[in-house]
Amino acid sequence: MVVNPFLSEKDHESVFTIATQNLKFGVGALGELGADAKALGMSRVALFIDPAVAPTEPADTARQSLRAAGIDVAETTDIKCEPDSAAFDAAAKFAQGGDFDGFVSLGGGSTIDTAKAANLFSSYPDDLLAYINAPIGRGKPIPGPLKPHIACPTTSGTGSETTGITIVDLTDQGVKSGIASPRLKPALAIVDPTVTASMPGGVVAATGFDVLTHAVESYTARPFTSRARPDGPAARPPYQGSTPYNDIGAIAAIRIGGRYLKRAAADASDLEARYQLMFAATLAGLAFGTAGVHIPHAMSYSVATLKHEYVASGYERLAPMVPHGIAVVINAPAAFRFTAPVNPERHLAAAEAMGADIRDGSNETAGDILAGAFIELMRDTGLPNGLVDLGYDEDDIPALAKGAFAQQRPLIMAPREVSEADLAEIYRGAMRYW
């Protein structure tokens, strides 16, 4: 595998880009929302708030801050966790009627993604599949700039506040897919770690595992130099593979997440741990936003879509479903065992950053060591013991693998080529871990 850009062959990529994100981080940052919205030219905003967050203090802080800045606010809490096409339609309708010049979202990835979709579909109406990534959708480019959107995450997970992606559950097709465009990136992300203080431990665990997994995925993704050289700068893909820039954020996020996830999940009053996990989430979001994710995420969509039987700790108020972070990490140990033989040194570095002892590590054991680090942390935080705990068995493997294989956009970022049969084997390995 080519890792040195100076040695890359003539027809290989030798350039990477860094797409910056306006972001503020810190205790009290949410109180600056109104001033920030005004600075972005907003006078009437559509405020999307997670229904669980709406009655809490952070929601009041956001409303008061907007009002104090003289901004008109129309609020909606009509947000579905893991949104589907009907949820996106409803959000677009809300946005169409309101004469808004800006969007604010306060919630987890689902809330932020819903606001992105509302912004898109109210600005450039079309059917949902038009913008969904090919081959599931038609992959139509977003025709022009969207209205400014300030994303304020209340979970330390998805990183949606720094990415140009929105994910939707296409229930009729049994797949999750997304719309990806730099135009979907929020104009500003406001990350205030105090907003996670009221989050149940189970939610912190699920979202924290999303952070760890996409950080490891972006760190172990195929190097940008392994792609074919694009015809021109415009043809360079938004997901480039691992680059020296993304590596910095990813490895730091793995280190911080590995150190603080257990504490943050166990104790809501452990503000230091929750602060650190939120920072890890921010770093990881910036890293995978341009490097991309690969097999565990590609596999997560069919896990989240095919069965809705599981009730995760912290999600009891919702209809049964597999939270995104759990759908992702449940595949991670098996997937990293599969990818480790191609770049074992990176898998070992990730395991070490997570806190594993790698002194006896070798190229042959790298996958097992990294898988072991994930499994230990999953056990310690009360996560399900593999796909069986989510209601899946051997008979589901063909359907799971078919759904995952359709996710070519992340799959092509894997360090190793992966067939539908390989995915079936990985799912088999993810059935039960201990």
Which residues of the chain form contacts with Fe ion (CB under 5 A)? 210, 214
What Cα–Cα distance (Å) separates residue 399 from each residue in 83, 90, 171, 265?
Answer: 21, 30, 14, 33
Q: Which residue is nearest to Fe ion (CB)?
A: 210
- Residue ranges of E strands in 68-148: 72-76, 102-107
Say how many residues make up the chain: 434
Shortest separation between residue 170's beta carbon and Fe ion, angstroms: 17
Q: Which is nearer to Fe ion, 301 or 392 (CB)?
A: 301
Give 176 or 337: the residue with its C-beta nearer to Fe ion: 176
Give the residue with the Cβ less far from Fe ion, 45 or 411. Answer: 411
The candidate with the shortest Cα–Cα distance to 165, out of 126, 110, 204, is 110
CB of 427 to Fe ion, least distance (A): 18
Shortest Cβ 336–Fe ion spacing (Å): 15
Least separation in angstroms between CB 299 and Fe ion: 12
Query: In terms of CB distance, is 214 or 307 closer to Fe ion?
Result: 214
Residues 6+ apart with CB under 8 A from 371: 332, 333, 334, 336, 337
Residues 6 or more apart in contact with residue 348 via CB below 8 angstroms: 358, 361, 366, 369, 370
What minimum distance in Å lies between the beta carbon of 328 and Fe ion?
Answer: 5
Cα distance between residue 434 and residue 431, in whole Å: 10
Q: Tokens for 338?
A: 């599969």
Measured CA to CA, the distance from residue 303 to residue 88 in angstroms comes to 21
Q: Which CB, 146 or 284, lies closer to Fe ion?
A: 284
The distance of closest approach from Cβ of residue 329 to Fe ion in the complex, given in angstroms and rounded to an integer, is: 9
Tokens of 372: 């072991």
Q: Considering the complex, what minimum distance in angstroms separates the CB of residue 374 from Fe ion?
A: 15
**How many beta carbons lie within 10 A of that of residue 39, not counting itself?**
13
- Closest to 205 (Cα-Cα) out of 262, 285, 280: 262
Residue 229 beta carbon to Fe ion: minimum distance, rounded to whole angstroms: 29
User: Which residues have C-beta within 8 Å of that of residue 406, sequence separation ≥ 6?
Assistant: 135, 136, 175
Closer to Fe ion by Cβ: residue 46 or 79: 79
* Of residues 149 and 214, the one with the C-beta less far from Fe ion: 214
Whichever of 222 and 297 has its CB closer to Fe ion, that residue is 297
Q: Answer for the pair 68, 34: CB distance below 8 angstroms, yes or no.
A: yes
Using CA atoms of 311, 202, 86, 75 in order, give the dihedral in degrees to the nearest 10.
140
Between 82 and 210, CB nearer to Fe ion: 210
**Helix 366-380 vs helix 201-220: angle between axes, to the nearest 10 degrees?**
170
Nearest approach, Cβ of residue 325 and Fe ion (Å): 7
